[in-house]
Amino acid sequence: MKKIVILSILFTLSACGTIGIGSNHETRLYNNSKNTITVSADSGVYKIKPEQDMVIYSNNDLTIKSSNSACNEKTVMRELNTPAVILDVFPIGWMVGILPVFVDAISNNMYRMPKTYSYSCTE
């Protein structure tokens, strides 16, 4: 029983990066163009009208396409959740090896989306 309690505590502490920092998978996307845009995320496909915004949840990159064919397709890329990785390594990570980083990678909290993104196409 003592081993189970110790293992449970280690697994809880091993994810301290995302417990302490949290993960951000939501992006407020602003459409500053004159055309409707289509946003593809792993949570679905969304249409955003001109001069409006929407909060979109996605664990992976977002792809933005405009109804205007002269506008280029854009990709909003996720970035490394650096504070969470640092917390994974320093409080307890040095004792349990790569387990904290592994837990964050498995739970898809190693990366985060930007909080806001503004799409513009002037053509």
Q: What percent of the chain has pLDDT over 90?
A: 40
SS (H, E, C) 99-123: HHHHHHHHCCCCEECCCEEEECCCC
With cut-offs at 50, 70 and 90, classify the pLDDT of residue 101.
confident
- Terminal-to-terminal C-alpha distance of the chain: 67
Please enumerate in sequence order all residues whose Cβ is within 8 A of that of 56, keeping only pairs 6 or more positions apart, or say none: 26, 27, 28, 29, 39, 41, 43, 46, 62
Dihedral in degrees, nearest 10, Cα atoms 96, 99, 103, 104: 90
How far is the C-alpha of 27 from the C-alpha of 39, rounded, in Å? Answer: 11
In this predicted structure, the answer to whether residue 79 has a pLDDT above a threshold of 70 is: yes
- Contact by Cβ (8 Å): 61, 76: yes
How far is the C-alpha of 116 from the C-alpha of 41, rounded, in Å? Answer: 15
Write out pLDDT tens, residues 48-77. 999 999 999 998 899 999 999 899 999 999
Tell me which of 40-49, 61-70, 91-100 is least confident: 91-100
Predicted TM-score (pTM) of the model is 0.75
